[in-house]
């Protein structure tokens, strides 16, 4: 768009990161059905969740906590934009 502003670049960077995180979360059921998990394993391990839990479609509290923590990272990026 021809915008030359460091603040706009910074905001766009955070928006892009938030969008990437949300896209990854939204695609989790699709990828899990194909036996692939693209979520950060450090967060999964923190909550005692394995890739197999996602592949099996478990919806226990610890699985939901993983999703919540990852979604919270997207929210933090949006707060930086604001």
**Rounded Cα gap, residues 56 and 32, in angstroms:** 8
**Rounded Cα gap, residues 45 and 34, in angstroms:** 21
In this prediction, residues 3-25 reach a mean pLDDT of 93
Residue 3: pLDDT band (50, 70, 90) is confident
| pTM summary value | 0.86
Residues 6+ apart with CB under 8 A from 62: 47, 48, 49, 53
In this prediction, residues 35-63 reach a mean pLDDT of 96
* Residues 43/70, Cβ–Cβ less than 8 Å: yes
User: C-alpha angle 78/36/42, rounded to 5°?
Assistant: 55
Q: How many CB atoms lie within 10 A of CB 77?
A: 20
């Amino acid at each position: 768009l021809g915008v030359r502003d460091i603040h706009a670049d910074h905001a766009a960077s955070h928006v892009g990161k938030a969008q990437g995180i949300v896209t990854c979360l939204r695609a989790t059921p699709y990828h899990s059905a194909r036996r692939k998990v693209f979520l950060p394993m450090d967060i999964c391990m923190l909550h005692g969740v394995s890739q197999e839990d996602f592949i099996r479609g478990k919806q226990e509290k610890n699985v939901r906590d993983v999703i919540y923590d990852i979604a919270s990272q997207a929210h933090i990026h949006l707060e930086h934009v604001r």
